[in-house]
């Protein structure tokens, strides 16, 4: 019995060429994150509450405010007040949803770069914030026109071009605080409680400390982010020192914790 040796084929077939996978564009990531904000029940009801509470707050100014307070500033602040509370919650849920809804493993498998995902969430949060503030100004303008007509007074447009950007920045800084807490804690309940502690409890403690310790009185404006937020809302951040105070509180409460949270997030295990 003899073995038959088959000679190798003389013709070579070209191996199929694999195309390099292109990274998912940032615009698509931002679109997906915006869709998540609208499709989840918590995010959807947060956004619906903005659309419901802003007209109610504007109507309350028309009904209860004296004629002297029927101004654009009063209506814009009233319509923006619900947003100052709800927008930080939206920012928190935008980050913590990956862990609370256990979708992080899928998300970070499709997009391994966690920094890109968090960056897309930050951009989506910024867009929602700007859109919500625009709605607040629009509702305030309609309320101002209707309120002055019903009260029989002249329509007063008393928000200056320098005051409007500060009011916008007020809401964006509040969202940034919520976003930072979401990145650091990565738990919806803990981040929401942490936000109310930082925004409601901590300012009172700092004010009390400034009253009982004279050395802390001059230091408080450089640490208390709530005080700089109030100045922004009132359009009173005008001098270089006041802007430096805002930069100081932003660095303490947003930049440094956000950097620490991002470093921890990149190394944490996703389940």
Residue 17 falls inside a structural domain = no
Residue 70 falls inside a structural domain = yes
pLDDT, residue 5, reads 61
| Confidence class for position 158, pLDDT limits 50, 70, 90 | confident
- Extract the tokens encoding 204: 């009172």
CA 189 to each of CA 41, 94, 193, 196: distance values in angstroms, whole numbers, following the listed order = 16, 13, 6, 11
pLDDT, residue 121, reads 92
pLDDT, residue 13, reads 55
Residue 11 falls inside a structural domain = no
pLDDT at 223 over 60: yes
Residue 56 falls inside a structural domain = yes
pLDDT at 186 over 80: yes
Residue 270 falls inside a structural domain = no
Residue 71 falls inside a structural domain = yes
154: containing domain: 26-265
Average pLDDT over residues 15-26: 69
> Of 140, 33, 151, whose CA–CA distance to 90 is shortest?
33
Helices (H), the chain: 26-39, 41-64, 72-100, 104-110, 114-151, 163-185, 188-196, 202-212, 214-217, 225-233, 240-250, 256-267
pLDDT, residue 164, reads 86
Share above pLDDT 70 across residues of the chain, in percent, rounded to a whole number: 90
Mean pLDDT of the chain: 84
- Extract the tokens encoding 34: 């915006």
**Which has more pLDDT, 15 or 251?**
251
pLDDT, residue 11, reads 53
Residue 13 falls inside a structural domain = no
pLDDT, residue 22, reads 73
pLDDT, residue 7, reads 59
Residue 19 falls inside a structural domain = no
3-state secondary structure of 127: helix
pLDDT, residue 10, reads 55
Average pLDDT over residues 104-116: 80
Weakest mean pLDDT among 91-105, 142-156, 184-198: 91-105
pLDDT digits (tens, 9 = 90+) for 57-103: 888 888 888 888 888 888 888 888 888 888 899 899 888 888 776 77
pLDDT at 191 over 80: yes
> Of 127, 106, 216, 217, whose CA–CA distance to 171 is shortest?
127
Q: Give the number of domains in the chain.
A: 1
């Amino acid at each position: 019995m003899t073995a038959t040796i088959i000679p190798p084929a003389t013709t070579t077939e070209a191996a199929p060429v694999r195309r390099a996978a292109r990274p998912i564009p940032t615009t698509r990531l931002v679109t997906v994150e915006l869709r998540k904000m609208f499709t989840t029940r918590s995010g959807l009801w947060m956004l619906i509450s903005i659309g419901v509470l802003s007209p109610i707050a504007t109507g309350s100014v028309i009904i209860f405010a004296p004629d002297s307070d029927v101004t654009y500033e009063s209506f814009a602040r009233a319509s923006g007040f619900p947003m100052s509370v709800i927008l930080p919650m939206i920012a928190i849920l935008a980050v913590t949803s990956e862990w609370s809804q256990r979708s992080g493993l899928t998300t970070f498998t499709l997009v391994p770069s966690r920094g890109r995902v968090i960056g897309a969430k930050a951009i989506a949060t910024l867009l929602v914030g700007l859109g919500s503030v625009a709605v607040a100004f629009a509702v305030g303008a309609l309320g101002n026109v209707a309120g002055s007509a019903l009260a029989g007074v002249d329509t007063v447009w008393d928000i200056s071009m320098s005051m409007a950007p500060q009011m916008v920045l007020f809401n964006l800084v509040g969202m940034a605080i919520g976003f930072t807490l979401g990145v650091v804690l990565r738990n919806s309940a803990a981040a929401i409680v942490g936000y109310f502690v930082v925004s409601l409890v901590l300012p009172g403690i700092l004010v009390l400390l400034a009253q009982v310790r004279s050395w802390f009185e001059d230091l408080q404006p450089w640490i208390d982010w709530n005080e700089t937020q109030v100045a922004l809302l009132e359009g009173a951040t005008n001098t270089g020192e006041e802007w430096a105070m805002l930069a100081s509180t932003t660095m303490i409460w947003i930049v440094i914790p956000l950097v620490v949270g991002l470093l921890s997030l990149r190394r944490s295990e996703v389940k």
